Amino acid sequence: MRKTNRLLAMLLVLVMLFTLAACNTDSQQPATPDITPNITTPTTPDNSNPSQPSDPDDPTKPSDTETVDPGLDNPGDVNLNNLTHELWNGTDAFMVVNGNKPLFTKEEITTKSFETYSDLDKLGRCGVTFACVGRDLMPTEDRGEIGSVKPSGWMYNGKSNNNKYDFVDGKYIYNRCHLIGFQLTGENANEKNLITGTRYLNINGMLAFENMIADAVKEDDLHVMYRVTPIYVGDNLVPEGVLMEGYSVEDEGETIEFCLFSFNVQPGVEINYATGENWLADEKAPADETNPSEPNESDDENKMTYILNTNSKKFHKPDCSAADKISEQNKKQVTCTREELVEDGYDPCGFCKP
């Protein structure tokens, strides 16, 4: 009996020694290094309220991050014909393309500022816009009026397609949307740089990236390669969206690097991309009752005379008492539509309510 107990005790000691040796071996294994590249791209702001960014104090701050693989050695092959508004998932204003790697070739990358704008095609549509954005390209004057430009799809059969919806930020569905933002190259009424873009595209799909580029150029004194390509299907007058590519040159993409397709959609609204017509999503498409050969002049009929305060960016009726108090240097009379003034950044006077 005593021999049996001694044997059991010896076996128990051996088991404990083996267990301790195994634990010690595991504790000496080196930790696996984290090789994830430290590069992030902003995600879409909360679409439930397009006017509110993810962080109210910083409209360019992402609400979440996505890890991407940097590098320009293999730009890849992106089939632009596959990019349509139908890819929109109902939530995100844009989607990552080509692993978030811009398609610039090494020969295209430069630190010399430039900007180029494609000629309009036979349908009056914009093409590729391309720039190396530097401080020397940025505007030195306030933005001017752009209401004289009517991009393809803005009008149909002589009638404006820019309908109003109460749930759209700013009310009007369309903006004269800069392909390369004014804050980057100072282009005003350049018809080669303005498309018929939804308010959602302009604010949710493009603005945050334009702000990022502007900050990198102004604050970090970087040059940023920036290319925006409107994507059309067939002979449609309104683009499906825009392909946006950005890359900060001096730091080799550490600050700016993205390749995205932003959707030219407006939540709650159906759009006929062939003509630009639009209607509430739960309603039927409007009947085409206008003869294209006999355009009406409804857009011109909506034009009125307004008094502008170019300093406060307010517009007034000509007989408004507040308009009489505007100093001559800030006072300007214009004849245009109300929507054109709103799109140019003017607010209606609270007294005369034009």
- Same domain? For 148 and 237 the reply is yes
Residue 63: inside a domain:
no
- 160: phi then psi, degrees, rounded to nearest 5: -70, 135
Rounded Cα distance between 209 and 185, Å, is: 14
- Same domain? For 196 and 318 the reply is no
**pLDDT tens for each residue of 253-300:** 999 999 999 999 999 999 999 999 999 998 877 765 444 433 444 455
Name, in order, each residue with C-beta under 8 angstroms of 167's C-beta and a sequence gap of 6 or more.
268
CATH number, domain containing residue 126:
3.40.570.10
**pLDDT tens for each residue of 2-26:** 444 454 445 544 444 444 444 444 4
Q: With 60 as the cut, is the pLDDT of residue 324 above it?
A: yes
Rounded Cα distance between 58 and 52, Å, is: 11
**pLDDT tens for each residue of 150-186:** 999 999 999 999 999 999 998 999 999 999 999 999 9
Give the residue among 262, 249, 188, 241 at the shortest CA–CA distance from 213.
249
- Same domain? For 334 and 229 the reply is no
- Same domain? For 110 and 244 the reply is yes
Residue 66: inside a domain:
no
Q: State pTM to two decimals.
A: 0.65
Give the residue among 219, 224, 124, 140 at the shortest CA–CA distance from 180.
224
The domain in which residue 325 lies consists of 302-348
